[in-house]
């Protein structure tokens, strides 16, 4: 996708805003005890931030798994992000898949709640990389 700088900036800003809004959603539904939905929202919050960074740097990924791979390859491998970031994205993706598609399964607070500050930190660090 070829974007002029103004378009790229607008999309990146939108994705970061969406990441922060989706994080708020995760916290809200978690406080109501909907932990599978909270896991879903945490994944999407981290995903939106990841895509913002990829777009900011002109890196294309056409799938969710592709975006996760490109974060690992382009940012974790290069030392811009830490290995735990790649692990977090993989775990959140897996949790979303399980929570959304497995029958008779629901995530519990002890599985999801500890990930909230990790996703918040991830989004904040991505935001700093985009807007130093």
pLDDT, one tens digit per residue, over 85-121 is 999 999 999 999 998 898 888 999 999 999 999 999 9
Distance CA 106, CA 34 (A): 9
Q: Where are the alpha helices (DSSP H) in the chain?
A: 5-31, 35-56, 64-71, 83-101, 109-112, 115-130
Would you state the pLDDT for residue 3? 81
Whether the per-residue pLDDT at 122 is higher than 90: the answer is yes
Instruction: Give the global pTM.
Output: 0.95
Residue with tokens 């900036």: 9
Would you state the pLDDT for residue 1? 62
Other C-beta atoms closer than 10 Å to the C-beta of 66 total: 13
Q: What is the mean pLDDT of residues 54-83?
A: 95
The per-residue pLDDT of the chain, averaged, comes to 95
pLDDT, one tens digit per residue, over 71-83 is 999 999 999 999 9
More confident residue, 120 or 6: 120
Would you state the pLDDT for residue 132? 62
């Amino acid at each position: 996708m070829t974007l002029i700088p103004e378009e790229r900036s607008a999309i990146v800003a939108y994705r970061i805003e969406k990441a922060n809004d989706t994080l708020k959603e995760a916290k809200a539904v978690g406080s109501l005890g909907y932990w599978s939905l909270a896991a879903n929202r945490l994944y999407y919050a981290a995903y939106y931030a990841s895509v913002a960074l990829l777009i900011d740097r002109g890196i294309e990924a056409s799938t969710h798994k592709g975006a996760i791979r490109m974060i690992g390859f382009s940012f974790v491998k290069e030392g811009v992000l830490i290995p735990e970031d790649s692990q977090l994205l993989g775990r959140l993706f897996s949790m979303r898949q399980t929570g959304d598609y497995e029958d008779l399964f629901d995530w519990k607070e002890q599985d999801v709640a500890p990930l909230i500050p990790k996703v918040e930190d991830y989004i904040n660090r991505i935001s700093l990389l985009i807007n130093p």
